[in-house]
Amino acid sequence: MSGHGTPIPMTSRPCGPLQGTARVPGDKSISHRALILGALAVGRTEITGLLEGEDVLDTAKAMRAFGATVTNHGDGAWSVQGVGVGGFGEPDQVIDCGNSGTGVRLIMGAMATTPITVTFTGDASLNGRPMGRVTDPLALFGTQAVGREGGRLPMTLVGAVDPVPVRYVVPVPSAQVKSAVLLAGLNAPGETIVIEKEATRDHTERMLAGFGANVDVVETDEGRVITLQGQPELQPQTIAVPRDPSSAAFPVCAALIVPGSDVLVPNIGLNPTRAGLFTTLREMGADLEYENMREEGGEPVADLRARYSPDLKGIAVPPERAASMIDEYPVLSVVAAFAEGVTDMQGVKELRVKESDRIDAMAKGLRAAGLTVDEGPDWWKVTGLGHGNVPGGATVESQLDHRIAMSFMILGMATQKPVSVDDGSPIATSFPIFETLMADLGAQIVRSNT
Ligand SMILES: O=C(O)C1=C[C@@H](OP(=O)(O)O)[C@@H](O)[C@H](O)C1
Ligand SMILES: C=C(OP(=O)(O)O)C(=O)O
């Protein structure tokens, strides 16, 4: 788990063209869900391409604590022998979800309608994030929660003894909240209905249907209405996890800003609820192509080809696109630094409650690297300096946030002077092979702060 070990200072130096093929790891969102739904199925689920990052490994450990048998067969192949909906046993230890908001919030949902008592904790970042957004709707099922002030971890949940189904309108655009309610609805008799005004990533709905649950999704004037029939017997599945578009974002964005680059990032999940960054980059003038578009395991997939893009321009990113690229704003702001003009990012309040306050963390580091950043509660603007003109020469706090650490490593590849982060250790939560993958393309990242 990040944040518990020794900090790893890292420096990224300006480098020559990035070239080659970047095989990024499996999708983090899908990996968490595969383990959790596998644990709730009756029988053995087989998973290939699982992300073996700390966030997902913490979820695997948690599933074992609830009674599932989770086995690592090597090379990303895992199996989960599930205990069935309502079959979770009571763990005899605290569940530590490390740095992972997705892990803790989805697991809270998965246990909330089973009569067991579970205490959750995490690292300093996770213990500062709001959990009321999940425990409020879980209370409607009959689940009790006691935590620290402001709904923070550590927190104990007492699962409902006689859960009732729920109808819930999600008040913030959050796939984690939506998913927690749906997972809780699995063990409530009758129909649980979740309504989201803005579409967020839909991996839970897709995977629930794949496991044989009865899930119905209808677009209405009120939003996306998701109806789940409770108490199904979930059928074990064979799941091939696609590569993570949120990880692909880093080599793609690096290629756009380092002169002479040409990088292929194969086999990337392009579910429209995840692909907003790539649309935005193309609008900014990025030389980014989708090759070999196809469908795999019910998800659209393509190979991304990114080349150095000399004529990037700042744009206003449509706020309605925010949910489909919410984790990609930090690295988008890095590309914006090399564009001509202002990149305006509105409707992104959620960035303030991620592993760090991502607007604050990026604004501080970008300013230290010589850029102008304006910000408000739910917006920020980066004024680009154009290729070759970004000074760099700063050491930035990564604030226990993998995406902040990786974004500044990408920045340093094209600045005039190197860029350092005080701690790159959080990168292992989502992208454990980041340093070797980027080095193989030609990047110069070293473990030191000089
Ligand atoms: O459901 C998921 O897998 C995720 C949902 C998003 O969080 P929110 O639900 O808080 O928007 C995203 O930021 C996170 O990295 C993964
Ligand atoms: C926000 C993220 O993850 P989580 O909420 O699962 O910690 C992320 O990976 O960018």
Question: What would the pLDDT profile of 293-302 be if each residue is shown by its tens digit?
Answer: 998 877 789 9
In this structure, are residues 420 and 369 in contact, taking their beta carbons and an 8 Å threshold?
A: no
Ligand 1, CB cutoff 6 Å, lining residues? 29, 101-102, 174-176, 179, 201, 326-327, 350
Q: What does the pLDDT look like over 222-243, one tens digit per residue?
A: 999 999 999 999 999 999 999 9
Q: What does the pLDDT look like over 402-422, one tens digit per residue?
A: 999 999 999 999 999 999 999
pLDDT band at 378 (very low <50, low <70, confident <90, very high): very high
Residue of 100, 125, 250 best suited for mutating to test ligand 2, as the one with most atoms within 8 Å of CB: 100
Angle at Cα 33 formed by Cα 32 and Cα 38, nearest 5°?
Answer: 110
SS3 431: coil
Q: How far is the CA of 103 from the centre of ligand 2 (A)?
A: 9
Q: Has this prediction a pTM greater than 0.90?
A: yes
CB atoms within 10 A of CB 423: 23
In this structure, are residues 96 and 26 in contact, taking their beta carbons and an 8 Å threshold?
A: no
Q: What is the mean pLDDT of residues 246-263?
A: 98
Pairwise CA distance, residues 396 & 411, whole Å: 11
Give the residue among 426, 327, 415 at the shortest CA–CA distance from 12: 415
Q: Which of 38-47, 79-88, 178-187, 265-274 comes out lowest in average pLDDT? A: 265-274
**Nearest bound ligand to the CA of residue 53:** 2
Pairwise CA distance, residues 403 & 356, whole Å: 9
Encoded tokens for 281: 């980059």
Q: How far is the CA of 174 from the centre of ligand 1 (A)?
A: 6
Residue with tokens 């402001």: 150
**Predicted pLDDT of residue 450:** 58
First CA to last CA across the chain, in angstroms?
26
Give the residue among 201, 151, 155 at the shortest CA–CA distance from 174: 201
Residue nearest to atom 4 of ligand 2 (CA): 101
Residue nearest to atom 1 of ligand 2 (CA): 354
Pairwise CA distance, residues 47 & 45, whole Å: 7
In this structure, are residues 159 and 186 in contact, taking their beta carbons and an 8 Å threshold?
A: no
H-run or E-run covering 62 = helix 54-65
Residue 2 has pLDDT above 60, yes or no: no
Q: What does the pLDDT look like over 59-88, one tens digit per residue?
A: 999 999 999 999 999 999 999 999 999 999
Domains for the chain: give ranges and CATH numbers.
10-25+242-446 (3.65.10.10), 28-234 (3.65.10.10)
CA distances (Å), origin 3, targets 54, 94, 192, 398, 410: 11, 18, 37, 11, 22
Give the residue among 238, 236, 240 at the shortest CA–CA distance from 213: 236
CB atoms within 10 A of CB 148: 12
In this structure, are residues 251 and 265 in contact, taking their beta carbons and an 8 Å threshold?
A: yes
**Predicted pLDDT of residue 160:** 98
Residue nearest to atom 10 of ligand 2 (CA): 327
Q: How far is the CA of 410 from the centre of ligand 2 (A)?
A: 19
Instruction: For residue 44, list its beta bridge partners.
Output: 81
Q: How far is the CA of 356 from the centre of ligand 2 (A)?
A: 10
**Predicted pLDDT of residue 1:** 44
**Residue 358 in marked binding region:** yes
Residue nearest to atom 11 of ligand 1 (CA): 174
Residues tagged active-site: 327
- The dihedrals phi and psi of 219, each to the nearest 5 degrees, come to -85, 125
**Nearest bound ligand to the CA of residue 106:** 1
Angle at Cα 273 formed by Cα 267 and Cα 278, nearest 5°?
Answer: 60
Give the residue among 134, 143, 145, 139 at the shortest CA–CA distance from 114: 143
In this structure, are residues 256 and 306 in contact, taking their beta carbons and an 8 Å threshold?
A: yes
Q: How far is the CA of 74 from the centre of ligand 1 (A)?
A: 27
Residue of 201, 206, 325 best suited for mutating to test ligand 1, as the one with most atoms within 8 Å of CB: 201
420 CB under 6 A from ligand 2? no
Residue 287 has pLDDT above 70, yes or no: yes
**Residue 367 in marked binding region:** no
In the predicted model, what is the mean pLDDT of the chain? 97
Pairing state between β 262-269 and 19-21: parallel
Which is the closest atom of ligand 2 to the Cα of 28?
9
- Complex ipTM over 0.90: yes
CA distances (Å), origin 169, targets 149, 181, 214, 258, 410: 24, 10, 20, 44, 38
**Predicted pLDDT of residue 4:** 57
**Predicted pLDDT of residue 298:** 72
CA distances (Å), origin 109, targets 50, 139, 157, 266, 275: 22, 11, 10, 33, 26
31 CB under 6 A from ligand 2? no
